[in-house]
Structure 1
Amino acid sequence: MLPISGACRPRDGRDRGRGNEGVSVSGTGWQADKREIDAIVAGRHRDAFAFLGLHQVAGHWVLRAFVPHAETLDAFGLDGTALGRMTLRHPAGFFEARVEIAGRQPIRYRAGNAGGEWDVFDPYSFGPVLGPMDDYYIGEGSHLRLFDKLGAHEMEFEGIHGTHFAVWAPNAQRVSVVGPWNDWDGRRHPMRNRNGIWEVFIPVLGTGTIYKYEIVAPDGVVLPLKADPFARQAEMRPATASIVPDPTPFAWTDQRYMEERAGHDWRRTPMSIYEVHLGSWRRRPDGSFMSYDQLAEQLVPYAADMGYTHLEFLPVSEHPFDPSWGYQPTGLYAPTARFGDPAGFARLVDAAHEAGLGVILDWVPAHFPTDEFGLSHFDGTALYEHEDPRQGFHPDWNTSIYNFGRKEVSAYLTNNALYWFDKFHIDGLRVDAVASMLYLDYSRQPGEWVPNKHGGNQNLEAVAFLQRVNAEVYRQFPGAFMIAEESTSWPGVSAPIYAGGLGFGFKWNMGFMNDTLRFMSRNPIHRRFHHNDMTFGMMYAFSENFVLPLSHDEVVHGKGSLLNKMPGDDWQQFANLRAYLAYMWGYPGKKLLFMGQEFAQREEWSESKALDWWLLDSPSHEGMRRLVADLNAAYRSLPALHERDCEPEGFEWVIANDHANSVLAWLRKAPGADPVLVIANFTPMPRSGYKVPMPRAGRWLERINTDAGWYAGGNTGNQGGVEAYAVEGRHWPAEAEIYLPPLATLFLKFEPA
């Protein structure tokens, strides 16, 4: 851009901006061809930036503008110098003039009609915001700060305050930014095409501006208005427009937490996760959603008091349909407006960190909905998805599947993962439906899928994408982690990439959940015949770094609550669930429990209402809550229970084959830590004097007894501890006689003399 000095003044000294001073309206060498004017007015021009704004034509500086509703248009330079009145060339509002000006600079117009006057800045007098390095890295698919470049960004540019918009639509004939500020008129702000990235800087627009993109497809059809794929804020459903976010940097107060997080090895650190759907954890008295700030005030201290280490939120990315729970997102970069603005979500994360809680987000790169305002055929072509429905359509969810092999799509998703860590300080992502990404024939019959280049059913492009995301997260954010919800036996999900793995930190153990819930749902008299459901998991327990999930998926769609899965009368149901949760907390692996199950919610979960908090008035429900809090405390405070969650030396069977009595016992161990014995009796028969081999003689404290009166149990047990006596000629050096309460699990911790 040339300097502004030397701008022309009116030749006859009359008042600036009146008449045609400084403007030539005669001659034919510089005036626009009527066909191009008609194309601008009709919204069919392929390159508005090459035509509108300030250009040198036939040796003259020529100014062209399209301002609908204007009958007069006066032009001014950046410093207010009047450049003269422009000539109306088309009654729809196209103006043109030859001006005397020193060089390119932002232009301001004063438009007028019978109703009055208004000022308009010319977006076509600005240069591009994106630079050659952006072009290079975007073209290469390796740009890792796309969220700082694409989307809407309020800024000052070339001396003027406004908003820069940029979007990828390589096959479009035209892309325009539209909103209420330009009457949703796609003719008024067409964008500049830079190798498939369309961009425009629009002066004056800023925080809170509502916008969408109007896109003309390759065949000339104007598509339904599209939300911004990189929108960082969106309207509250059912509205679907994007919003220019406030650019003010958030004032984080979690520096100490982040520094400490960087030193964690989460495989050897307690991880007890409280899975939460923000819209139904608790609601206001009128039934409306709580805000992010209210959740920070109520959810965060509750979870911290319960002893959890992490909150995991069902997807918070913007989504149009409440019953999808966020798993069909249309705005991957925008925290949902249901609970407030992006700064409100940042305050929630900051509050969690202040309370010592990490934050995990469910993340959905496996599919996206086909809503017409979203990514579906974004520029009139299969841009984010595959054209072939055998690759690009998901039969289970009636959604589209990302084309992971397209470098721009891989970059879009990779940047989204990095965005949540970078801008919102989250601690982990739990990646939803990984199995559906890994297998080309997932939920498909023969002939309904396309093999890979080797003829197999592995989605090699999805594998490469997942490896890339995981590598970048672990490289850029020390102490952060990635969790896969992967329901098959795909090898090495949590193995390092250099060893051929996918590079996740953890994997959900769906087999543990399925097997153990199946066992627990049986009448205790039949459990002896299905004992292996509780022991089989140890055959593969250390093949991955596992999270043991009792998630939302187990308490919806007719499955009932955890309590209602348990057999027997009301007392037995509570006893079974207490024993089962303690079994899980004593089992190797990180822990995850869906909200409401910590106090034994009776009804199946529904996203349309709050949890039944009134149940805590009942001793049985309050007892369950107390148990989960105590399990978390024991898990966090006893190194034997967490330091070797993912390594076989941290576990040893003590009793694995007492099928007849449905009794199981094992040791949890860690270097330098006192061992913990976990023993469970899954029958309603109490067992007195039950002999248990022990690794050490001496006093073993009863740290957890799920039958305790404090938990609304029968209040039977071992008076706070047992004594193990040395024995000769046995496999184990000691033995103890233990009272096993009915349907109960005990934690016994060795107490050194």
Structure 2
Amino acid sequence: MNSILTPKNKIYDYSEQLNALQVGTFSDPFSFLGLHKVDESNYEVRVYLPDAKSVALASKPAKFLFKKYLNSDLFLLQVTEQELPMVNKLKVTYANHTRIQQDVYQFSSSISEEALYLFNEGTLERAYQHLGAHFIEHEGAKGVRFAVWAPNAKSVSVIGEFNCWQRSEHFMRKHLASGVWEIFIPELEAQQTYKYSVVDSYGNVSDRSDPFAFKMQQAPGTASVLQPLVSRKKPTSKQLKSRSRRNKIDAPICIYEVQLGSWKRRADEENRFLTYRELADDLVQYVKELGFTHLQLMPISEYPFDGSWGYQPVGLFSPTSRFGSYEDFVYFVEKCEDANLGLLIDWVPGHFPSDPHGLHKFDGTHLFEHADMRQGFHPDWNTYIYNYDRPEVKSFLLANAMYWLNEFQLDGLRVDAVASMLYLDYSRNDGEWIANQYGGRENLGAIACLQDVNRRCYGQDNNIMMVAEESTAWPGVTQSVEHQGLGFGFKWNMGWMNDSLSYISRDPIHRRYHHHEMTFSMAYAYSENYILPLSHDEVVHGKGALLSKMPGDDWQQFATLRAYYGFMYAHPGKKLLFMGSELAPRSEWDHNEGLDWQLLDSPAHLGIQRTVKQLNRIYQGEGALYECDNSPAGFQWIDGDNAEQSIFSFARYGKSKEDLLIVISHFTAQVFHQYKIGVPQTGVYEVILNTDDKALYGSGVTAVAGKQQLIESAAISSHGFENSIVLTIPPLTTLYLKRITG
């Protein structure tokens, strides 16, 4: 038996504890290290400091010199009760330096047991304030509290540049009831890097990034970074009112979707990314000039692989450092608010990648993901699926949604790949999935998780936007949770997008046979609160650019795209365009390059940009185009059956029936003169949009003679209406006619 004669002539055997310290598997270090009473009048201080040459009490180093245990890295010192006040700081001498430090094992736990209970319950909305790394003051010392959930680990320690990445210096305390490991380390500094060294039940060691880290190293680095939680400044009452107006169901919402790394690059500086601060100036101003109401960022949670565009995140709580610091991102958010530009970000709760520093088998077990590959693995993306049935995973995802909305005061979240979460058989063949408890294919845990996130987020602030990218006909996506819906505020209309792009990609001579592809969407237009998306997904992976989808010669391609945008802006539903849609590039999007801004030197491409700008201006100025998006009262077909001429005509109404706009979209290269169309109301109509206008690079065919572009209805019946107007229909054009007098 190994033993030692201590300064007070007491003999103790620490061989078992020493071995656990040396191999890094000490599961309960606070029971041994630090200050402990050894008998009625004596205490012993035990510290384990690899590579230390000597240890003493800093107050009287000559008198209180620790003794090595068996020439190991375990140092021992016995003191009396009267000498306890001197046990506050240690003087530690290494080969090349000496430092004064506090013993981390003298500190009690600083984490809330109530918070841990709620975390285990799945309801801890602000788990990010308790888990992770937080700068706090604890028992008179300033430092960082580390807390990580790893219930099945044998031991966990904090490693970092502050302890030379040694996993035997800062073993953490385990809270047995919650499975959370925690330690307070004094005198650490912001921007120091760290990880958790996790030893599983088989003795395997893995070094993991902090799931709750507010900052991470940019790839190829994988460490977490000590980052104080810096909330953005609170919006003013005026800004809060503006946010409330711009996010409502009856508001004009037009969204510009951006991938920050490829909107613009600094070609003169090795093609580098723009920083958050540069984007705060360039991008925000540009989006405002185009007339968009909202900016939507593709995922900005830290991600290792550029080619994933952020959709395989590892650091859900870390704004990517590709574009600058945490504080720089806060600055960007504030600049959006100052410009009255709504800001949404993509949120990815559907899966996570297999990177070894990430969440997969975090504590040696399938902790965040399902153990069964039929439930826990995505065959499409080679990623892992969260175990939505596990309460702690629900707390993790709920807290992440709350984090972006609370700390950055964003307008909302666009939730990626919702369909992949809802269906157990998503992208799986028979035999490759497991039915739920009722024998169905619905993922009940994911449904409950989404409902809880939406209910709590809207319950905290009903002026936000929670948007679902849901590609199926799942019922009630935007219905309230109380009415058995998923509780989202908006849903992407993928059906409209697929059908309309299919139609518009056809040769005009064939469009007459596919007329229904442009009209079918009105059969379900009011079943959800829809956003019409022309997103990044439509211009990658060999699909080509939007312009390249258009058939015909060069002029016809541009004309068709302008007319298509005009149709989109008049169709019920909010609008979303991916960056570059206003430039009409000929090649599909490449995330490794910035947009081709030189296209604007061409009148044809400039005409597309002017069309988008004009559409945004008209859209926001005409209540008929947005106020009743979700009501049949806002839309009326005039002629939805003119397949022969490929003409669609309809009326849009505002909340007042007097607020009327007539829309005519024509998708052949012919010109139709003396075209009669019925109108619901008598009066004078003004042409406020003609996508064939020469200023937009059109052919210049006018719908109505004269500079005023006015036409008065006549009491001649047509299309089931008692009154009509007669005008010229230009080629490949969308027209908007506004009723200006009765």
TM-score normalised to structure 2 length: 0.95
Quickly say closer, same or farther: Cα 1:179–1:303, change in 2 above 3 A. same
The residue correspondences of 1:486-505 to structure 2 (distance < 5 A) are 486-505=470-489
Question: Could you tell me which of 716, 719, 723 is aligned with 1:727?
Answer: 716
CA-based RMSD of the aligned residues comes to 1.8
Establish whether residue 170 from structure 1 lines up as the match of residue 166 from structure 2: no
1:707 maps to what in 2? Answer: 692
Q: SS where residue 278 of structure 2 aligns?
A: helix
Structure-2 separation of matches of 1:551 and 1:50:
56
1:71 maps to what in 2? Answer: 53
Structure-1 separation of matches of 2:454 and 2:153:
32
Establish whether residue 202 from structure 1 lines up as the match of residue 185 from structure 2: yes
Unmatched 5+ stretches in structure 1: 1-22
Q: SS where residue 68 of structure 2 aligns?
A: strand
1:752 maps to what in 2? Answer: 741
1:132 maps to what in 2? Answer: 113
Corresponding letter in the other structure for 1:748: L
* Offset at residue 261 of structure 1 (A): 2.0
8 Å CA contact retained: 1:104, 1:125: no
Q: SS where residue 345 of structure 1 aligns?
A: helix
Establish whether residue 191 from structure 1 lines up as the match of residue 175 from structure 2: no
8 Å CA contact retained: 2:678, 2:718: no
Structure-2 separation of matches of 1:440 and 1:308:
37
1:226 maps to what in 2? Answer: 208
Q: SS where residue 725 of structure 1 aligns?
A: coil
Q: Which moved more, 1:375-384 or 1:478-487?
A: 478-487
8 Å CA contact retained: 1:306, 1:632: yes
Question: Could you tell me which of 416, 438, 447 is aligned with 1:432?
Answer: 416
2:375 maps to what in 1? Answer: 391
8 Å CA contact retained: 2:58, 2:100: no
* Offset at residue 541 of structure 1 (A): 0.8
Q: SS where residue 135 of structure 2 aligns?
A: strand
Corresponding letter in the other structure for 2:66: M
2:73 maps to what in 1? Answer: 93
1:274 maps to what in 2? Answer: 256
Structure-2 separation of matches of 1:415 and 1:184:
29
* Offset at residue 131 of structure 1 (A): 2.2
Q: Which moved more, 1:117-126 or 1:419-428?
A: 117-126
* Offset at residue 521 of structure 1 (A): 0.5
8 Å CA contact retained: 1:421, 1:477: no
The residue correspondences of 1:597-608 to structure 2 (distance < 5 A) are 597-608=581-592
Establish whether residue 111 from structure 1 lines up as the match of residue 100 from structure 2: no
Quickly say closer, same or farther: Cα 1:128–1:729, change in 2 above 3 A. closer
Q: SS where residue 245 of structure 1 aligns?
A: coil
Establish whether residue 693 from structure 1 lines up as the match of residue 678 from structure 2: yes
8 Å CA contact retained: 2:57, 2:86: no
* Offset at residue 599 of structure 1 (A): 1.6
Quickly say closer, same or farther: Cα 1:457–1:680, change in 2 above 3 A. same
1:10 maps to what in 2? Answer: none
Question: Could you tell me which of 508, 516, 521 is aligned with 1:537?
Answer: 521
8 Å CA contact retained: 1:71, 1:88: no
Corresponding letter in the other structure for 1:120: Q
Unmatched 5+ stretches in structure 2: none
8 Å CA contact retained: 1:105, 1:125: no
8 Å CA contact retained: 1:696, 1:726: no
1:12 maps to what in 2? Answer: none
Structure-2 separation of matches of 1:82 and 1:620:
84
8 Å CA contact retained: 1:129, 1:201: yes
Structure-2 separation of matches of 1:486 and 1:104:
63
* Offset at residue 249 of structure 1 (A): 4.5
* Offset at residue 157 of structure 1 (A): 1.5
2:287 maps to what in 1? Answer: 303
Q: Which moved more, 1:36-45 or 1:629-638?
A: 36-45
Q: SS where residue 354 of structure 2 aligns?
A: coil
8 Å CA contact retained: 2:214, 2:229: no
* Offset at residue 621 of structure 1 (A): 0.7
Corresponding letter in the other structure for 1:154: F
* Offset at residue 97 of structure 1 (A): 1.1
Structure-2 separation of matches of 1:157 and 1:104:
17
Quickly say closer, same or farther: Cα 1:459–1:565, change in 2 above 3 A. same
Structure-2 separation of matches of 1:228 and 1:729:
68
1:50 maps to what in 2? Answer: 31
Structure-2 separation of matches of 1:739 and 1:170:
73
1:590 maps to what in 2? Answer: 574
Structure-2 separation of matches of 1:81 and 1:495:
69
Structure-1 separation of matches of 2:393 and 2:121:
12
1:142 maps to what in 2? Answer: 123
Establish whether residue 659 from structure 1 lines up as the match of residue 643 from structure 2: yes
Q: SS where residue 646 of structure 1 aligns?
A: coil
1:122 maps to what in 2? Answer: 103
Quickly say closer, same or farther: Cα 1:474–1:248, change in 2 above 3 A. closer
Q: How many residues are treated as equivalent by the alignment? A: 727
* Offset at residue 264 of structure 1 (A): 5.6
Quickly say closer, same or farther: Cα 1:101–1:477, change in 2 above 3 A. farther
Q: Which moved more, 1:250-259 or 1:692-701?
A: 250-259
TM-score normalised to structure 1 length: 0.94
Q: SS where residue 746 of structure 1 aligns?
A: strand
Q: Percent identity?
A: 45
Question: Could you tell me which of 372, 376, 385 is aligned with 2:360?
Answer: 376
8 Å CA contact retained: 2:512, 2:643: yes
Q: SS where residue 301 of structure 1 aligns?
A: helix
Quickly say closer, same or farther: Cα 1:675–1:381, change in 2 above 3 A. same
* Offset at residue 724 of structure 1 (A): 1.3
1:554 maps to what in 2? Answer: 538
Question: Could you tell me which of 280, 288, 302 is aligned with 2:272?
Answer: 288
* Offset at residue 54 of structure 1 (A): 1.2
8 Å CA contact retained: 1:493, 1:503: yes
The residue correspondences of 1:510-521 to structure 2 (distance < 5 A) are 510-521=494-505
